[in-house]
Chains A and B, each alone.
Chain A
Amino acid sequence: MNNTEQSKTANKGTAVSGVPAKLRKALTYVFLSLWALVVLFPFYWMVLTSVKSYGAYNSEYLPKLYTLSPTFQNYADAFTAVPLANYFLNTVLFTVITTALMLAATVLAAYAFARLEFRGKNLVFVLFLSLMMIPNELVIITNYVTITSLNLRNTFTGLILPSVTSVFYIYLLKENFEQVPDQLYYAAKVDGTSDLKYLFRVMVPLCKPTIVTITILKAIECWNSFVWPRLITDDQNYFLVSNGIQSIRESGFGRENIPAMMAAVVVISLPLILLFLFFRKMIMAGVSRGGLKG
């Protein structure tokens, strides 16, 4: 595409979409579709491999891009040969308790910063914010020593407690709480409503979208957490899905049963993908406001 030609059409002011513009549009779609293919292909391959039979998979020296005889045997194997159901339950339990504790601490703290008056409030808030800069890699070492010396390795308490706090969510919710008009608070006070009651009857329902967003983001984070569980659990009974999949890979079905491994991968990936499809807008808005991967 050369520049003079384009500026000529622009100069004439004719909105006629000439060939170059059409071509450019087509190329854009081709390019975007290529990236979509790169993104989707691993998912396709994972599902495809999970429905190939063990024998069929291992007889393909050149892997086939489709299968004509899908089987669900691998899914049965995934749940019987390795304790996948157990990993699953552990992760659900870990995610629910951690998220609930985070939510309780976050709602209370955000309310204190947004609504209550106390000496040194601004200073404390700035200190809170500065905590966001502390990298997890630095504090995980002492936490590991703390949990180990408290004999909390291979317990849910040890898994959950250090995973609860998220300063960023306090900040996010505080910003939202502050948008609730003061008049509501004074009116509630005149009626003799206590702070706690006001918080849960008025503030929380009004700020529900933000609360749902941080709940989902935290749940995703919990579901995928790997580093801390790996450090703190070596008993299979307490593995979460990430550690489970790693141990399946290293010793699970025998190294070569790739189809069963892929069935496990599908089972582990599905909950988050479903969650994403249901809450797509909320998750994407939440992440763009400050979610970070890594």
Chain B
Amino acid sequence: MEKKSVKAWLYLLPAMLFLGIFLIYPLVDVFVYSFEENYNFASQSYTGTGLFNYSYVLRDPYFLQALKNTFLLVVITVPLSTGLALLISVGLSSIKPLRELYQTVFFLPYVTNTLAVGLVFMILFKRTPYSDGFVNLLLSLFHAGPVDFIDGPYGAKMLVLCLYTIWVVMPFKILILTSALASVNQTYYNAAKIDGTSGLRIFFRITLPMISPSLVYLIITGFIGAFKAYSDAVALFGTNLNAAGMNTIVGYVYDMLYGNSGGYPSYASAAAILLFAIVLTITCINLLVSRKHVHYIS
């Protein structure tokens, strides 16, 4: 028996080493950092413990800007992308010919490099002295613009960031919702048809309740993902997000660690823990709200 146990632990050893060193130890350490004041990277020393790092971060205008950007991004993209994905998935499941082709095309953004395709979006929206760019060409058809979406007004920049974020997150949502729709038991629909129920009523009374667990899952993961936005913003506006006024909370954490502000692991830790607290709170609220409205069928 003992020998068997030893063998099992040996099998687990590689995974445990990696997890221990790069996941569990850092998790504990990040809290320690966040309370160490004036931590010096070179000498690994600090002057005291307390909440100073948190109050510094909360008063930092760059953090407040990042907080505002991130909240706007979350509030705009999560409902829009989920709603649009629902429409597309319902459309997809109502057709037969070409369905697989559409599904394949819709999934493409998932397997592309966020940084690389972000550059394409940048070019489509950017206005330079030599060219107005494609989007402004479109706008001019409606006698609007031209607007510089990349270096221009805040609203325009936010719009591009939201559009790109939605473009990136759609494949996952469409995939989850189409498989949820496909697994709804056909007998419900047949029964409704015999009763002569209208299409809209079928959707709200049968389809929506049946796929509500998947919807809740998407909304929760959507919130979490949007709160962690970073690469999309870098792709559009470059690495100096603070200068562009388009930083996100995660971007603030990384900038604190490295980059233009130099290394401040204590501030980075405090900001990361604040982000985690926000995400945890929102997730709990989501779960509480959804409990009342979701139908789980065992």
Contacts and interface: CB of A to CB of B under 8 A. Distances in A.
Q: Is the interface of B mostly helix, strand, loop or mixed?
A: helix
Contact of B114 (A25, A35, A224, A262): A224
Interface string B16-59: 10110111111101100100000001001000000000000000
B238 A269 contact: no
B115 A245 contact: yes
A141 B116 contact: no
Interface in B247-278: 250, 253-254, 257-258, 265, 268-269, 272-273, 275-276
B113 A276 contact: no
Contact of A242 (B14, B15, B24, B115): B115
Contacts of A143: 22, 26
B172 A142 contact: no
A54 to B, nearest CB: 12
Given A272-B111, A293-B110, A108 B14 contact: yes
A61 B131 contact: yes
Contacts of A162: 22
Interface in A241-294: 241-242, 245-246, 249-250, 256, 258, 261-262, 265, 268-269, 272-273, 275-277, 280, 283-284, 287-288, 291-294
B142 interface: no
Interface string A187-209: 00000000100000000000000
Given A32-B102, A39-B167, A63 B254 contact: no
A99 interface: no
B225 A144 contact: no
A198 to B, nearest CB: 12
Given A7-B197, A245-B113, A231 B257 contact: yes
A95 B159 CA distance: 34
A287 B110 contact: yes
Contacts of B231: 226-227, 242
B287 interface: no
Interface stretch (A40-48, A67-75, A178-186): A40-48
Contacts of B132: 61-63
Interface in A105-124: 105-106, 108-109, 111-113, 116-119, 121, 124
Interface residues of B, number: 101
B198 A3 contact: yes
B110 A108 contact: no
B106 interface: yes
Contacts, number: 271
B113 A268 contact: yes
A58 interface: yes
Given A109-B12, A167-B19, A62 B193 contact: no
Nearest to A111: B11
Interface residues of A, number: 97
Contacts of B144: none
Given A137-B272, A138-B26, A170-B15, A246 B167 contact: no
Nearest to A28: B91
B109 interface: yes
Nearest to A1: B199
Interface string B198-220: 11110000000000000000000
B158 interface: no
A172 interface: no
A31 B87 contact: yes
Nearest to B44: A149
B236 to A, nearest CB: 10
Nearest to A280: B104
Given A28-B95, A241-B113, A246 B27 contact: no
29 contacts: A6-B198, A7-B198, A36-B105, A39-B105, A42-B120, A42-B124, A43-B120, A108-B12, A109-B16, A117-B5, A161-B18, A162-B22, A165-B22, A227-B230, A227-B231, A231-B257, A241-B116, A245-B113, A246-B238, A249-B119, A249-B238, A258-B123, A265-B116, A265-B119, A272-B111, A272-B113, A283-B111, A292-B172, A293-B110
Given A137-B275, A288-B176, 6 more contacts: A31-B87, A61-B132, A118-B9, A135-B279, A141-B272, A144-B258
Interface of B: 4-5, 7-9, 11-16, 18-19, 21-27, 29-30, 33, 41, 44, 84, 87-88, 91-92, 94-95, 98, 102-117, 119-121, 123-124, 128, 130-134, 137, 167-172, 175-176, 179, 193, 196-201, 221, 224-226, 228-231, 234, 238-239, 250, 253-254, 257-258, 265, 268-269, 272-273, 275-276, 279
